[in-house]
A and B are shown apart, each in its own frame.
Chain A
Amino acid sequence: MMKKLWGIWLMLPLLAWAQAQPLGDDPAVEARLKALSTELRCLVCQNQTLADSTAPLAEDLRREIRELIAKGMSDKEITEYLVARYGDFVRYRPPVKAQTMLLWVGPSVLLVGGLAGLWLALRRRNQILVDDNDEEGEEA
């Protein structure tokens, strides 16, 4: 009995999934919209993607993107359309350019610097240990 109940519980999400209607009619358009909007930031709730956000602006922008897709624009053109209006900030992956160099290169520089520091420190410690051993050896 319990097992059966569990089974039903686990099936419930499927029911919800089956009921969710896509907002558009064309599944291909919806798939592209979804892929695109997960790469774009909602400017109202800035840590959410356009795909996740329920802010009215995000809904409007999804409508806009849907129409641009219908017009036959490529994903790149649509992203550029939004960047022209809202700036690079709408993109979750900022473009590589002079202004964003620190952002892109910074973590690698820190990692390499940290590894170099670690290597130097370990080598010095090793040296001290070797020297100590040598001294002990001489005493013996």
Chain B
Amino acid sequence: MKPAFKYLLPLAIFLVLVGFFAAGLKLDPREVPSPLIDKPAPAFRLPVLNAAGQTFSPEDMRGQVWLLNVWASWCGACREEHPVLMAMAQRGEITLVGLDYKDTDAEASGVLTQAGNPYKTVAVDADGRVGIDYGVYGVPETYVIDKAGVIRYKQIGPVTDEALHTKILPLIKGLQ
């Protein structure tokens, strides 16, 4: 073995490892890519919060681009994204539908009266079954659903201003 090669080989291996670790640092293990992207949004029909007898189904939103935001009154990170959702609702850029996940109606209504209600409709998923169909594993989660009822994007964790302006809004503009 030539001496130059002998010394360069460990350096090369080291650099390859650094490359792997650097890429690994940017990956968040909490963010599990959803297999539902570009698939039709799972169908459901659920009661609407504070509207006795009314139900909501994704079918009702056909022909519209909309956001399905999975939230709960017990979820701390949902408070974090709440102002962002409120601002979005006030600008009227997009229809926001809430999915109240494993919650009680009283507590959910309490949060909405206290902090404001950014949702057009809130569907009540009391036992979390619809959440399972949507692959929800940590609230809040937000789905962008297009006119044909296909899921185009999933935000895992709170909707931040950054995610909204760099990913969600440009995507919605393209879909509308």
Contact = CB atoms under 8 A, between A and B. Distances in A.
Given A44-B138, A60-B132, A61-B132, A85 B32 contact: no
Contacts of B35: 83-88
Contacts of B32: 43, 86-87, 89
Nearest to A88: B35
Contacts of B102: 56
Question: For chain A, what secondary structure do more than half of its interface residues adopt (helix, strand, loop), or is it mixed?
Answer: helix
Interface centre among B134, B135, B138 (most CB of A within 10 A): B135
B80 interface: no
A57 interface: yes
Give the interface SS of chain B, mostly helix, strand, loop or mixed: loop
Interface in A54-91: 56-57, 60-61, 64, 83-89
Interface string A23-60: 00000000000000000000110100000000011001
A51 to B, nearest CB: 17
A56 B68 CA distance: 22
A85 B39 CA distance: 11
Contacts of B128: 56-57, 60
Interface in B126-150: 127-129, 131-135, 137-138
B132 A64 contact: yes
Given A56-B102, A60-B128, A86 B135 contact: yes
Contacts of A64: 129, 132
Given A56-B102, A60-B128, A85 B134 contact: yes
Nearest to A58: B137
Contacts of A87: 32-35, 135
Contact of B137 (A43, A83, A84, A88): A43
B135 to A, nearest CB: 4
Across the A-B interface, the 7 shortest Cβ-Cβ residue pairs: A43-B137, A85-B135, A87-B35, A89-B32, A86-B135, A60-B128, A57-B137
Interface of A: 43-44, 46, 56-57, 60-61, 64, 83-89
Given A60-B132, A87-B33, 19 more contacts: A43-B137, A43-B138, A57-B128, A60-B128, A60-B129, A60-B131, A61-B132, A84-B35, A85-B35, A85-B36, A85-B132, A85-B134, A86-B35, A86-B135, A86-B137, A87-B32, A87-B34, A87-B35, A88-B35
